[in-house]
Each structure stands twice: as structure tokens, then as C-alpha cells.
């Protein structure tokens, strides 16, 4: 019964003028949601919006070339959102203009990342301790670009300071077109469970679209999140690692109530190899192989001989080697 309710709620929605259909979003994940992985998720189907890994506003402002690499986008993945972090409103505004010029459909402001080296600069999660500055930054970014601006945040700084509702009101007042809420506090990191009641409270308070995030690993989880929070969209992060099909599976479940069969071992091998080729098409082979060592391990999880394969993948130094490790062991 609940899933039927979720089905009714899970409709396309808009962020500014951008239609998000289906209302399922690939979360920004540093070191993961590069153009290759985003395309893979898009091609698998069911994903209405993909988010690029976070980009430093300082890096863009000061022309750091590695930061520029993070702005590679392709038409097949649209709409695509690019996330910025920083603590200086003028630098964030300047970086936002550059991201808009690079072709982003949406710009997202990170007000939640708990990584210590980012937080100690006063950016991202640290802004949850200074909501005035957070609002100032959102206003500066909104004022700098024509594309819609969203905010991705957490429940609050810690259990004593759960401020998502206040931040959402400030974000709306500053012109944000939507808000993403991950139901954990910054001090929780990734421990414990995401508290979806915070997402519901934000949805009850603001009229801009609310995207719920945290601990959606299955189609049934997504249906439950729509149902329990009344959110407009569901964002999936870790559940998509090595599983670009998760959006198609959720979309299908919401539309038909049927669970799709799990991808076969051959499907997983094919996807891992496509992932490798896509990544190698956007960076040099050495760098691609370095990144792939960790990322391909997700596709072989649970497979017989997985730990031996992981060991061999971690030492691979060319694409050819990766190919033979993936295919030799899959037959």
C-alpha cells in the first residue's frame, strides 16, 4: 500500500526551469562522480539528474588546472549539476560564473561536507555553525548566475544543533531553487543512520523542491523515503557505487511495483569495463588506471574470487591488464 502512495508522489519536478524526470538524483561524490561514472548511470536509465564531484571555488578562482578538469561535462548526461565549496562569497560567486560558462545546468552549494581538511577552511560543513555566512554565500552565488542554484546540506552541525529547517528557510530567501537534505549531522560523518524526519520537517516548511538523501540502497528504500518524507526527489550516493542500474531499478519499482532482476555477473563485468573505457577517454591512462583500482572493486563485490581479483586490480598498471583481470576471471 505504502509503495502505491510513493508511486503517486514520485513525479517529475522542476529545479528552476530544469525538469528532473524521473525524480531520482545521483549524489555528488568526490573521486567518483566524474563524467565517466555519470554517463554510465545515465545510460543505465532512470536517473533524472547527475551531480558532479565537488569543486573548490578557490581552485577555480585561482585557475588551478586540476580543478578545471572537474568541469568536463557531456551532453548525454544532461541535466548536470556542479557543486562548489568555499567560505568566501565573492570567490564562490566568481567560481559560479565559471561553472555556468563551462555549461552546468544547475550549480549546487555545498553546506554539509564533513571532511576535516575542508571543514577547517570554514567551508562546507563548517557553514552550519555560521548560518549568516551560509546565507550570504548562497545569495552571492544566486546573484552571479542565471542557472538555478541549489543547496546540499546535512541535518545540522551536531545533535544539539539541528538547523536544516532554518538553513532551508534562509536558502529559499536567498533565492535557492531547491534544497538537498542528508539526514545526518556533520559530526556524525557517515556513522549511525540518516534521520529522515529532518527531511520531512524541511519539506513541511519550504515550498521549494526538497530532495531527500541518506541510506537509500534499494528500490523499497526509495519508495519509503518518498512516502515518509513527502520529498520531491530522492538522491542516491553509495548505493550507486558499482551499481549504476540502481536508478532504473527504483524508477521501475515506483512505476510498476515490480523489482527488476539483479544484473548478472556478465552485466557487471561489461559495466566495469565500460567504466574503465569512459574514464580512460577523459584522462591519461596512468591516472585512469590509478582511479579504477578502487572503483572497479565495487563491481566484483560478492563474486567468487573477488578478493584475489581486487588484489590483482590494485596492482594493475595498464588498461589491458585491467581488461584481462575482469574478463579472465568472469568466465
Ligand X SMILES: Cc1cc2nc3c(=O)[nH]c(=O)nc-3n(C[C@H](O)[C@H](O)[C@H](O)COP(=O)(O)O)c2cc1C
Q: Can you tell me the distance from the alpha carbon of 241 to that of 162, in angstroms, rounded to the nearest whole number?
A: 29
Q: Min. distance of Cβ 81 from ligand X in angstroms?
A: 10
**Nearer to ligand X (CB atom), residue 7 or residue 238:** 238
Q: Taking the complex as a whole, how short is the minimal distance between the CB of residue 197 and ligand X, in angstroms?
A: 16
CB 206 within 8 A of CB 230: no
71 lies in the site for ligand X, by CB under 6 A = no
25 Cβ partners below 8 Å, 6+ apart? 47, 48, 49, 50, 51, 180, 211, 233, 234, 235, 236
Between residues 30 and 282, which has the closer beta carbon with respect to ligand X? Answer: 30
| Cβ count near 4 (within 10 Å) | 11
Q: Which of 23, 28, 233, 263 binds ligand X (CB under 6 A)?
A: 28
Q: Is 139 one of the binding residues for ligand X (CB under 6 A)? A: no
Catalytic residue (one of 51, 113, 231, 265): 113
**H helices present in 145-216, as ranges:** 164-173, 196-205
**Interhelix angle 131-144/89-102, nearest 10 degrees:** 40
Q: Does 242 bind ligand X (CB under 6 A)?
A: no
Cell 572497479 belongs to 296
Contact region for ligand X (CB under 6 A) — 28-36, 169-177, 295-303, 304-312?
A: 28-36
233 forms part of the interface with ligand X (CB under 6 A): no
* Short-list 235, 227, 231, CA closest to 209: 231
Q: Exactly one of 27, 107, 202, 211 binds ligand X (CB under 6 A); which one?
A: 27
Contact status: 57 vs ligand X (CB under 6 A): no
Does the annotation mark 113 as catalytic? yes
Catalytic residue ranges: 113
What residue ranges bind ligand X (CB under 6 A)? 27-32, 53-54, 83, 110, 112-113, 152, 182, 213-216, 236-239
Amino acid at each position: 500500500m505504502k509503495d502505491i502512495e510513493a508511486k503517486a508522489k514520485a513525479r517529475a519536478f522542476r529545479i528552476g526551469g530544469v525538469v528532473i524526470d524521473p525524480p531520482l538524483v545521483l549524489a555528488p561524490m568526490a573521486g567518483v562522480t566524474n563524467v565517466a561514472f555519470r554517463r554510465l548511470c545515465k545510460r543505465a536509465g532512470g536517473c533524472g539528474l547527475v551531480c558532479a564531484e565537488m569543486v573548490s571555488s578557490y581552485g577555480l578562482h585561482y585557475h588551478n588546472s586540476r580543478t578545471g578538469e572537474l568541469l568536463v561535462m557531456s551532453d548525454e548526461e544532461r541535466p548536470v549539476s556542479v557543486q562548489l565549496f568555499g567560505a568566501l562569497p565573492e570567490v564562490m560567486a566568481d567560481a559560479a560564473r565559471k561553472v555556468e560558462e563551462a555549461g552546468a545546468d544547475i550549480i549546487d552549494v555545498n553546506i554539509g561536507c564533513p571532511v576535516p581538511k575542508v571543514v577547517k577552511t570554514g567551508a562546507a560543513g563548517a557553514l552550519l555553525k555560521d548560518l549568516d555566512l551560509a546565507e550570504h554565500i548562497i545569495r552571492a552565488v544566486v546573484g552571479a548566475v542565471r542557472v538555478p542554484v541549489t543547496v546540499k546540506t546535512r541535518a545540522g552541525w551536531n545533535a544539539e544543533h539541528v538547523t536544516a529547517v532554518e538553513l532551508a528557510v534562509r536558502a529559499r530567501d536567498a533565492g535557492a531553487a531547491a534544497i538537498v537534505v542528508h539526514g545526518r549531522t556533520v559530526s556524525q560523518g557517515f556513522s549511525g543512520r540518516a534521520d529522515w524526519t529532518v527531511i520531512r520537517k524541511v519539506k513541511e516548511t519550504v515550498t521549494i523542491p526538497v530532495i531527500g538523501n541518506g541510506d537509500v540502497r534499494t528500490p523499497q528504500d526509495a519508495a519509503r523515503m518518498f512516502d515518509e518524507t513527502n520529498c520531491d526527489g530522492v538522491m542516491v550516493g553509495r548505493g550507486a557505487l558499482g551499481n549504476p542500474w540502481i536508478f532504473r531499478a527504483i524508477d521501475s519499482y515506483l512505476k510498476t511495483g515490480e523489482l527488476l532482476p539483479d544484473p548478472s555477473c556478465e552485466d557487471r563485468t561489461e559495466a566495469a569495463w565500460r567504466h574503465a573505457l569512459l574514464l580512460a577517454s577523459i584522462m591519461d591512462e596512468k591516472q585512469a588506471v590509478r582511479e579504477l583500482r578502487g572503483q572497479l572493486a565495487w563491481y566484483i563485490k560478492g563474486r567468487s574470487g573477488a578478493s584475489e581479483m581486487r588484489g590483482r586490480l590494485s596492482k594493475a598498471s595498464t588498461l589491458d591488464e585491467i581488461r584481462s583481470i575482469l574478463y579472465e576471471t568472469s568466465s
